[in-house]
Amino acid sequence: MTKKLILASQSPRRLELLRMLGLNVEPITPRVDESSVTADTPALLAECLARRKAEEIFRRIRPDGCPVVAADTLVEIEGKILGKPKDASEAREMLRLLSGKTHFVHTGMAVISDGTLDSCVETASVHFRTLTDGEIEDYVRSGAPLDKAGAYGIQGPAGAFVERIEGDYFTIVGLPLCRLTVMLRDTMGLNLSDFK
């Protein structure tokens, strides 16, 4: 019988990535007050948030033999964390801040299976070319920045803003697939074929 992965996320991008691999996935939105979680660095904060989300779903639904996967992505520039913009004005500010500079994307990930928890954080650096006011305005007007950390998604039209990256592309999208596969195999004794 095919197992399923529980995805502790409301992100359509994470769900799409797992389904792209042909996996049987059930998304469930975690109930975590993210403002109550603190850590010493943005990278550690992303990992702590992912752990909290995985633990909350695991406690709430008690998935029988189904691993829970959670992730959280934060954008960091000049020591400042950029979350999801509250409105179009904040999205413009974020994109101006990123324009012509290198920033870091941290994706924390946690997996719980049968009570065993493993977590990690992956970091990639992203360099934006210098953006014109018109490009920023067009992108903000599209509405695309409003549900994304740092006000952009590399897999959409904002991919044209990215001059170069260092690290795993899927870390930037929000779910490092290679690291997830290794965590499932090495810590949980599971293979992706178990969920197809």
Digit-coded pLDDT (tens) for 165-191:
999 999 999 999 999 999 999 988 998
Q: Is the confidence at residue 3, as pLDDT, over 90?
A: no
Helix (H) or strand (E) holding 55: helix 42-61
Q: Are 54 and 184 a contacting pair, CB within 8 Å? A: no
Q: Which of 33, 40, 64, 72 is catalytic?
A: 72
The secondary structure of residue 120, as a DSSP letter, is E
Q: Are 122 and 106 a contacting pair, CB within 8 Å? A: yes
d(CA 144, CA 169): 19
Q: Is 87 a catalytic residue?
A: no
Give me the chain's average pLDDT, please: 94
Q: pTM score, two decimals?
A: 0.93
**What is the pLDDT confidence band of residue 63, given thresholds at 50, 70 and 90?**
confident
Q: Find which of 77-86, 107-116, 127-136, 183-192 is predicted with most confidence, using mean pLDDT.
A: 127-136
d(CA 101, CA 128): 6
Q: Are 53 and 70 a contacting pair, CB within 8 Å? A: yes
Q: What angle do CA 121, 126, 130 make, to 5 degrees?
A: 155
Q: Are 106 and 42 a contacting pair, CB within 8 Å? A: yes
* Phi–psi pair at 70, nearest 5 degrees: -130, 150
d(CA 78, CA 58): 35
Q: Is the confidence at residue 84, as pLDDT, over 70?
A: yes
d(CA 176, CA 170): 5
Tokens of 144: 């695309």
Residues 6+ apart with CB under 8 A from 8: 28, 29, 30, 53, 54, 56, 57, 68, 69, 70
Helix (H) or strand (E) holding 92: helix 88-98
Residue with tokens 């810590």: 187
